Amino acid sequence: MKVVEFAVRRPVAVVMAVLAVILLGGVAFNRLAIDLLPRMNIPVGAVITSYEGAGPQEVEQVVTRPIEEAVATVENVKRVSSVSQPGTSMVTVLFNWGTDMDVATQDIRAKIDYVKQMLPKDVKSPMVLKYDPSMMPVAVYGLTGRQGEVELKHLAEKVIKPRLERIAGVASAHIYGGREREIRVLLDPEKMEGYGIAVSQVVQALQMANLELSGGKVQEGSKEYLVRVPGAFFDLKDIEGVVVHTADGAAVRLLDFARVEDGYKDASMASRLDRRDSIGIVIQKQPTANTVEVMRNVRREIAAMERELPGNLKFRVAFDQASFIEDSIRDLTENVIFGAILAAFVIYVFLGSLRSTLIICTAIPVAFVGACMLIYFSGETLNMMTLGGLALGVGMIVDDAIVVLENIYRHRREGAGAVNAAVHGASEVGGAVIGATLTSVAVFIPVVFVTGLTSELFTPLSLTVAFALGASLFVALTLVPMLASRLLRDAPAAGSTEHGRFRLPRPSGAWLEPVSNVYRALLGWGLRHRRRTVLIAAGAFVASIALVPLVGVEFLPATDQGQVSVTLRMPRGTSLEATDRVVAMIEREAAQLPEVETIFASIGAG
């Protein structure tokens, strides 16, 4: 085999190629984005439209139905569903699997543009979104401080939110909870009727008075000045002094028929951290950003804000996806390393030669790094599926190296030189090794052609196993023969203790001999009683099929993130205060559990 001969006779080229793989793989491994699950293209889009002040029936009739009729004509639409709530319409569009969602969302926007003209003037422009699991919140924080609720929310919106959104990889930081300042104008209907003033006149007068206009430019000598006419309200007296004209032309001040109050906006949402009122901060990352790296930067920024901003601010974590990812990745990485060490130990026990073990074990790190390089260039991330594929491949990537080295050693026993034994030994089994590797790869490749959510989840795992096996094949046909021609000792003397084809120490040979005798006896019995052997194998297969219902079936195994989420749905029309009282009861019960560290409550958020 030309590849084997080149590798044995050009060791420097092989070493340089392996070093290049290790270098590129190391750089790729450091640049791999770390996430919990693979990037998934879920064929779901949504159109969200806001119509403030409208009831559910009105929203459905004038907003939801026209949008439904428009998006239903988009290509590859499978199902359209909608939810009409007070002031909000949400139309969900399910497409066929395999649909390019970037193109689909553009088609939806084009259809919505035709419908906009038919919607009422007060309806805000519809938002078209595509469902992306990577856009789910990566962290939720609760913010508390010595400030009042209004001041704390103002600080969160004007200072904390911009600082968080400036972090590389952060898509948005959403602030909710707290109290918002609201200026209320309470009209007296009797006085308005006496003056002959309508509500629309008051609204129009307030809008016209609360304006800042540009006055153009003024040139003085060689200088030019921009003129601005300030008209925005500064305090309550400015509002009370607004003039409203009656039908007969009389001017009436707002103070004469209304009362102006400085208060708070009616809350529609609230949040508490450890049973204390707090401001909720929901952080979302960009789709291609590294979740772990983003959250590390967020934690550093939050620590800096706690030191720099006034009011003894405290950020408490209610949810942090990166912590779970870090723990999961660390555990899985430790299992991969432990599996590699265990595989090396088993190889040494059976081969009985430290040099042979070291030659074979070179396949593990080189194939691992090579697989990471291929994962990076394929656009995948380092997640539970790809790491699972690497863990699965650790035990498989040494198979090719063992077969190649075993045949090389056989040639050495027969008296061949080191170089000739490496070339002829690896070439003889090269075709078998390639066939065996392709057979293993063929088991996983069909998953790539499966459609649906299964494909989105398990395609990265299949590709990772294929990458690991491909890298191990490269090592077995290049690096292993080259190292064997340089490191493998001469054939054992005639009186040395051996078992099979490998030279083993006496202890290993001693305990392997009974195993070999038992296997030889079973093999002889099977060959003499072929019919019984086939019946036993068939019976075992049928029995294993019958046990499948007892094993159970689930799409994904249950995971424990150390968090418990309780979702409470009250009857329609329940006020925020009534819901808050029920949530407070749940918080009190949860606080009595000794295992509970943090309690975060969000009321009215969904």
Distance of CA 13 to the CA centre of its chain: 40
Residue 498 predicted with pLDDT over 50? no
| Cross-strand partners of 225 | 218
Nearest-angstrom CA–CA distance, 606 and 602: 9
433-454 residues labelled b (16+ CB within 10 A) or e (exposed): beebbeebbeebeebeeeeeee
Taking only the tens place, the pLDDT of each residue in 355-387 is 888 888 877 788 888 888 999 998 888 888 888
Taking only the tens place, the pLDDT of each residue in 93-152 is 999 888 888 889 899 999 898 888 888 888 888 888 888 776 778 888 888 888 877 888
Nearest-angstrom CA–CA distance, 118 and 250: 39
> Please, which residues have CB within 8 angstroms of residue 408's CB and are 6 or more apart in sequence?
421, 422, 425, 426, 481, 484, 488
Q: Stretch 82-88: mean pLDDT, rounded?
A: 86
Given this model, what pLDDT does residue 605 score? 56
179-196 residues labelled b (16+ CB within 10 A) or e (exposed): beeeeeeeeeeeebeebe
The lowest-confidence range among 291-300, 494-503, 543-552 is 494-503
- In this structure, which topology does domain 137-175+281-324 adopt according to CATH? Alpha-Beta Plaits (3.30.70)
For the chain, the structural domain boundaries read 2-31+352-504, 44-131, 137-175+281-324, 182-264, 512-552
Residue 15 predicted with pLDDT over 70? yes
576 CB neighbour count, 10 Å cutoff = 15
Distance of CA 346 to the CA centre of its chain: 36
Q: CATH top-level class for 182-264?
A: alpha beta
Residue 493 confidence class, pLDDT cut points 50, 70, 90: very low
Residue 2 predicted with pLDDT over 70? yes
Taking only the tens place, the pLDDT of each residue in 558-586 is 666 677 888 888 887 777 788 888 888 98
Given this model, what pLDDT does residue 502 score? 41
Residue 193 predicted with pLDDT over 60? yes
Residue 183 confidence class, pLDDT cut points 50, 70, 90: confident
Q: Stretch 580-599: mean pLDDT, rounded?
A: 86
Q: CATH top-level class for 44-131?
A: alpha beta
The verdict on domain 2-31+352-504 having CATH code 1.10.600.10 is no
% pLDDT > 90, the chain: 12
Given this model, what pLDDT does residue 556 score? 67
- Collapse the DSSP code of 565 into the 3-class scheme (helix H, G, I; strand E, B; otherwise coil) and give the result: coil
Residue 393 predicted with pLDDT over 80? no
Tell me if domain 44-131 and domain 137-175+281-324 are identical in fold: yes
Closest CA to 71 of 110, 34, 102: 110
Residue 38 predicted with pLDDT over 90? no
Comparing 114 with 212, the larger pLDDT belongs to 114
Residue 494 predicted with pLDDT over 90? no
Average pLDDT over all residues of the chain: 83
Q: Stretch 403-426: mean pLDDT, rounded?
A: 86
Nearest-angstrom CA–CA distance, 515 and 520: 9
- Collapse the DSSP code of 249 into the 3-class scheme (helix H, G, I; strand E, B; otherwise coil) and give the result: coil
